[in-house]
């Protein structure tokens, strides 16, 4: 999924008043967390390049999470919109859906990538 597909998708699912720039920043925050918390803690993480997204980033840039787990972007944007609108009941529900999508991706990634062992050991 690209940045533009995520933005157009959420705008279709949940019409809102937030700018493309704000949504790009929200997507950047999510992919930054995914890179640091999931990808970088497993083998091959050093091969994944992520420098953040901003207004200069092409909207055709692919986001980090592949299909079929890419619905995480809709759930994340939905939660951000609900929170920004002060709709906390809706936010709680969308946050639950986001957390489920995040956990689904994390479990998939962990099953397919070996963890990095950073522990230093003393060997006799």
Interval 10-56: pLDDT, tens: 999 999 999 999 999 999 999 999 999 999 999 999 999 999 999 99
Q: Which are the contacts of 63, defined by CB distance < 8 A and separation ≥ 6?
A: 1, 2, 3, 6, 27, 31, 70, 73
Largest CA distance in the chain: 63
Q: Structural domain boundaries of the chain? A: 3-112
What is the pLDDT confidence band of residue 117, given thresholds at 50, 70 and 90? confident
Q: What is the pLDDT of residues 60-106, one digit of tens each?
A: 999 999 999 999 999 999 999 999 999 999 999 999 999 999 999 99
Taking residues 93-121, report their average pLDDT: 90
What's CA 68's distance to the chain center, in Å?
13
- Contact between 6 and 78 (Cβ < 8 Å): no
Q: Which are the contacts of 123, defined by CB distance < 8 A and separation ≥ 6?
A: none
What three-state secondary structure class fits 2?
strand
């Amino acid at each position: 999924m690209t940045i533009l597909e995520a933005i157009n998708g959420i705008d279709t699912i949940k019409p809102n008043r937030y700018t493309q720039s704000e949504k790009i920043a929200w997507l950047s925050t999510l992919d930054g967390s995914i890179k640091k918390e999931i990808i970088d803690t497993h083998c091959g993480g050093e091969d994944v390049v992520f420098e953040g997204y901003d207004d200069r980033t092409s909207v055709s840039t692919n986001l980090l999470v592949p299909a079929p787990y890419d619905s995480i972007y809709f759930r994340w944007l939905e939660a951000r919109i609900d929170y920004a609108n002060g709709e906390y009941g809706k936010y709680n529900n969308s946050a639950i859906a986001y957390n489920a999508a995040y956990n689904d991706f994390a479990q998939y990634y962990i099953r397919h990538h070996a963890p990095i062992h950073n522990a230093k050991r003393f060997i006799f």
